[in-house]
Amino acid sequence: MTWNNGYVTDIIYTTGYYDQQAPSHIALSCLLGNVAPGFARRSEQLTYLELGCGRGRGALCLAASNPEWRVVAIDFMPAHIEEARELAAEAGIDNIEFIEADFATLDPRNLPEVDVASAHGVWSWVSDDVRAGIVRILGSRLRPGGALHLSYNSLPGWQGAIGLQRLIHTAARRISGRSDRKAEAALKLVQALSGADAFHLRQSDLVQILKRDLPDMPREYVAHEYMNDDWRPCFQADVAAALAEAKLEYVASGEILENFPQLMLTGEQRAVWDGIDDPILRELAKDFCLPRGLRHDIYVRGPRRIGDAARNAALADLYLTLTRPPGEFVYELNLPAGHGALERGFYEPVVAALGQGPRRIGDLMSLPGLGGKRDNPAELVGMLVGTSQAIVVARQDADTGEAATRLNDHIAMRVLRGDPPHGALASLRLGSGLRCSGDHYVTASMMHRLGADSSVDRWAETIGLKAEGEGREKFLKMAEETRLRQSPVWKHAGII
């Protein structure tokens, strides 16, 4: 057997950043599940472990945004570890260690004890012995009260689309060549069969969504997501049973809105769900209702349950800032339970206050002029963060951290050289990343290097766009627009 054990390793994965992996987001999820995030007490000396870190951008962002933390990130692909180490060294991020290891064989005693762990996009893509290795690591190294974020392809969400994965996997196996080319050929076959109205490519909603999105997905993403031999979606009950070996208990969803059944389930579904007491059965019932195939679960090793009063007091002390200009705030919501709207009488004053900068939830709740609902900070924070329109601020008085700025700048240069543009701007104030596009990386970097008000012509020259032409014009337009739109948001988020 080769070292990769059926996992695609001949091409590197794409880059990405996922809010659900950030300890501040995990702490919020715990609170919404009425569990005390004990690890948050160590918020300045936290040890964070990422299992299956890919190219390391998420772990690097967290390390740069929290210079006092110790971050350990593991992946078995040497190409991923090499690139991540290179970026860490270039950007001078020295509180992170990248380890090349296979979870199936890694001796947990070689790792430190950790407060928070995360494995995104790993569990349902690897073999039983790798999953067992992950449980062994967590059982041995996650501190009491420590939390885990785990994402995986879930059932029954995937049930109508299992055949589609198998089609891509089998086609890829039968074709020779590199995995990105195999992915290309496999997708052509999917399209051809779909064009010929193959019965099982028209049955499930997930298949429809995937058929729509797959042609534009980066080929390295398709390869890593669909072409591994051990790909296998899971029921939450089975994941919970496996993690129980490590004394882990499910406490909440990392998808903030999923912690609000009134938004996720229709009235009829809710009536059935309300009648179920058993937590595992509740999750299964929810999974039967929600049209999604990926779960983000939060587990805690020894959860301490708290009542609503303690939860509300902890929530009231959190700070939030907006992730978009207040004028672009979206009040209409499309939810699994149907169309909904955030009540303007309550949310408009909140959004206006947040438009001035980070605010404490407790202070937002007592703004003059708010309609009812003053006693429900969970709903306020849930709606704002759950719709990705606000983010938790870890250190409201911090300025732009030097390590965070260096990392953002080095990634910007890589994006200009052709790296994928998906990621997040690191921020000491947020203690996490603000998701962004490639244009954002470049704009934030130029504002730092040349001054927030510097001329975009100088930016164009700095990145080598000297000659007049369409490319330069496009860049200047993008730069002006991005600066204008993002400046207030970035100032409040401690990015510039």
Asked if 123 touches ligand SAM (CB under 6 A), the answer is no
Measured between alpha carbons, how far is 325 from 340 in angstroms, rounded to an integer? 21
Report the run of H or E that residue 351 belongs to, with start and end.
helix 344-354
Number of H helices, E strands in the chain: 20, 14
Please identify, using beta-carbon distances, which residue of 131 and 410 lies nearer to ligand SAM.
Answer: 131
Q: Nearest to residue 319, comparing CAs of 364, 349, 368? A: 364
3-state secondary structure (DSSP) of residue 260:
coil
In sequence order, what are the beta bridge partners of 300? 147, 249
Distance CA 206, CA 310 (A): 40
Say whether residue 433 binds ligand SAM (CB under 6 A). no
**Count of CA atoms in the C-beta half-sphere (13 A) of 41:** 8
Residue closer to ligand SAM by CB (options 7, 158) is 7
Of 11, 16, 35, 138, the residue at the interface with ligand SAM (CB under 6 A) is 16
CB of 169 to ligand SAM, least distance (A): 14
Beta bridge partners of 153: 294
Least distance from C-beta 61 to ligand SAM, angstroms? Answer: 11
* Nearer of residues 104 and 335 to ligand SAM, judged by Cβ: 104
Q: Which of 83, 102, 258, 419 binds ligand SAM (CB under 6 A)?
A: 102
Point out which span in 49-57, 176-184, 284-292, 393-401 binds ligand SAM (CB under 6 A).
49-57
Distance between CA atoms of residues 317 and 358, nearest Å = 12
Q: Which is nearer to ligand SAM, 121 or 303 (CB)?
A: 121
Only segment of 39-47, 52-60, 349-357, 366-374 that touches ligand SAM (CB under 6 A)? 52-60
The answer to whether 393 touches 358, Cβ cutoff 8 Å, is yes
> What letter represents residue 230's amino acid?
D
Indicate whether 48 belongs to the interface with ligand SAM (CB under 6 A).
Answer: no
Sequence-distant (6+) residues with CB within 8 A of 213 are none
Q: Does residue number 207 form part of the binding site for ligand SAM (CB under 6 A)? A: no
Q: Please give the Cα distance from 238 to 95 (Å, whole number).
A: 35
3-state secondary structure of 152: strand
52 contributes a contact to ligand SAM by CB under 6 A: yes
Does residue 77 bind ligand SAM (CB under 6 A)?
yes
CB of 80 to ligand SAM, least distance (A): 5
Q: Which of 25, 120, 149, 301 binds ligand SAM (CB under 6 A)?
A: 120
Q: Which of 73, 76, 51, 74 lies closest to 62 in space, CA to CA? A: 73
Cβ 13 to ligand SAM, closest distance in Å? Answer: 5
Per-residue x/- track, 257-276, ligand SAM (CB under 6 A): --------------------
In terms of CB distance, is 102 or 283 closer to ligand SAM?
102
Is 104 or 353 the residue whose CB approaches ligand SAM more closely?
A: 104
Please tell me whether residue 104 binds ligand SAM under the rule CB under 6 A: yes
Where do runs of H (alpha helix) occur along 33-77? Answer: 57-65
Pairing of strands 248-253, 114-119: unpaired
Cβ distance to ligand SAM smaller for residue 162 or 496: 162
Residues lying near ligand SAM in the complex (CB under 6 A): 7, 13, 16, 52-54, 75-77, 80, 102-104, 120-122, 125-126, 130, 224
